[in-house]
Structure 1
Amino acid sequence: MAETTVAEVMAELAELDDPKTREVNSRHGDDHGVNLTRLRAVAKRLRTQQQLAVELWETGDSAARLLALLICRPKDFDRDELDAMVRDARTPKVHDWLVNYVVKKNPHSEMLRVAWMADPDSVVASAGWALTADRVTKAPDVLDLPALLDVVDAEMRQAPDRLQWAMNACLAQIGIAHPVYRARAIEIGERLEVLKDYPTSPGCTSPFAPTWITAMVNRQGW
């Protein structure tokens, strides 16, 4: 059976592009018009194809990059490749999927997490904080939680949006997963008021850390 080519995939994505979807996505900083459910259906049909994923990523097209992240083999990327990809992923959805679907599953994730946390590029730093939030719940032994809270306290209010969001998520996860630090996490959130007025749909939990922490703790009975 002939291999699927980049040109064939790009043509299919072009057919799936919907102006209304593109308009909605643009409000969130994304620049593609492909419905994600349809995109996942394409990925399911293509299955894992690392070389095709690499070639789709190289197109620079956001829909193609999202598809690439669904059909790639996360462990096949080396450290430098992932570092370059994170620096080149500037739209929110591509950045989010890259960190969550690929970097988290890669053996270099911890090394990258540490390096990215200290990066002067706030978008790259946000990837480090997103990985750290994951570590808070899954591998807290590698972290200094009080020191993380100190940094959040000192820097989150002034941080650029993407970095601020990731730091806030880390703050919330500390409060949710670690009862000994819960009161301090809630106090920091209440004092800084980051995302306090963020619009939240009915039935969804507010990203405001004190509300988020309290809701999750009550829901899980901790």
Structure 2
Amino acid sequence: MTQGGPSPDWTTDQILDWLEGRGSERNVAGMARYGIETSKAIGVSNAELRPFSRKITRNHQRALALWETGVREARLLACFTAEPKKMTADDARRWAADFDSWEIVDHAADLFVDAGLLDLIGEFAADDREFVRRAGFAMMAWAAVHLKKEPDETFASWTPLIRTHAEDGRNFVKKAVNWALRQIGKRSLSLHGPAVQLSEELAASEDRAQRWVGRNALKELTDPKTLERLRKKSA
């Protein structure tokens, strides 16, 4: 067992030792119920991983090594402690090739957005692999929330990808497509109208996946609370 508290100089092996000491089969079972891939999970919750990641701080080379272990918790820590400025498109592509769980995808997508790797969105969205495609749309959603200074034109340029891939009925893809559409539509009044229009078109489709994406997005985008928040934001 690793002695002493977590610190920035901890190695990959020390981190894995710490994780093993806090594993829980009960947590693993709970994760599985939420559709998280648990074949390589130790059973440490995000409630523990987040504060732990702040104690060990960011270290890009160590994050890359943590990712290579394949362990769920180590990969989440890789997402939390990688240095965005050092994350390259090739790093992101290598990670994407390993994606096998929506949970890992969504946290990695947040990192990729912070790293400014927006050019990968179209590439990932066009990829036939379920979790790589999800990553493209998760990046759209994260960007719509976090990139406050990004012009609306950037987000408008992604809506054709939403229209194209809304017919992908795979669960983790359609949910991410819907997520992206809702977040883009809630970003500003200028984006809201086109997002509602696209949602209406999808909701009227004969395709089941498109209808689900459109109807689910419309429910939130036309909610009075959403409209009020947008009006206040605009004012």
Q: TM-score if structure 2 supplies the norm length?
A: 0.76
**Cross-structure match for 1:72:** 82
The aligned amino acid for 2:137 is W
Unaligned runs of 5+ in 2: 1-6, 205-209
* Alpha-carbon distance in structure 1 between the residues aligned to 2:184 and 2:44: 35
Aligned equivalent of 2:113: 104
Whole-angstrom CA distance in 2 between matches of 1:49 and 1:131:
22
Q: Which residue of 2 aligns with 1:131?
A: 139
Correspondences of 1:137-148 after superposition (within 5 Å): 138-142=150-154, 143-144=156-157, 147-148=160-161
The answer (yes or no) to whether the contact 1:145–1:174 under 8 Å persists in 2 is no
1:11 aligned partner: 17
Measured after TM superposition, the shift of residue 61 of structure 1 is: 0.4
The counterpart of 1:213, out of the listed 216, 221, 227, is 221
Shift in Å, 1:104 = 0.3
Give the drift of 1:78. Answer: 1.6
Counterpart-to-counterpart distance in 2, 1:5 and 1:163 = 35
Q: Percent of aligned positions with the same letter in both sequences?
A: 20
Corresponding pairs, count: 207
Shift of 1:115: 1.6
CA distance in 2, matches of 1:90, 1:148: 22
> What amino acid is the match of 1:110?
L
Q: Does 2:72 match 1:62?
A: yes
Whether the aligned pair in 2 keeps the contact of 1:34 and 1:63 (CA below 8 Å) is yes
Question: After superposition, what is the alpha-carbon deviation per residue over 1:33-59, rounded to whole angstroms, capped at 9, x for unaligned?
Answer: 111111112112111122221211110
How many angstroms does 1:146 deviate by? 6.0
* RMSD of Structure 2 on Structure 1 (CA): 2.7
1:84 CA drift (Å): 1.0
Provide structure 1 residue ranges, at least 5 long, that are not aligned to the other structure: 197-206
CA distance 1:160–1:57, change in 2 (3 Å): same
**Kept in 2: contact 1:69–1:98 (CA 8 A):** yes
1:118 maps to: 126
Q: Distance in 1 between matches of 2:162 and 2:103?
A: 27
What's 1:91 paired with? 101
Distance between the aligned counterparts of 1:146 and 1:84, measured in 2?
26
CA contact (8 A) 2:79 2:107 kept: yes
Cα offset, 1:221, TM superposition? 4.9
- C-alpha contact 1:189 1:209 (8 A) present in aligned 2: no
1:42 is matched with which residue: 41, 46, 52? 52
Q: How does 1:144-163 map to 2 (within 5 A)?
A: 144=157, 147-148=160-161, 150-151=163-164, 155-163=165-173
Contact 1:49 1:71 (C-alpha < 8 Å) held by counterparts: yes
Conserved in 2, the CA contact under 8 Å of 1:174 and 1:181?
Answer: no
> By how many angstroms is 1:165 displaced?
1.1
Local SS of the residue matching 1:208: helix
Task: Provide Cα deviations, 1:111-165, integer angstroms capped at 9, x if missing partner.
Answer: 21122222222321221222234455643313436634642xxx42443112111
Alignment correspondent of 1:200: none
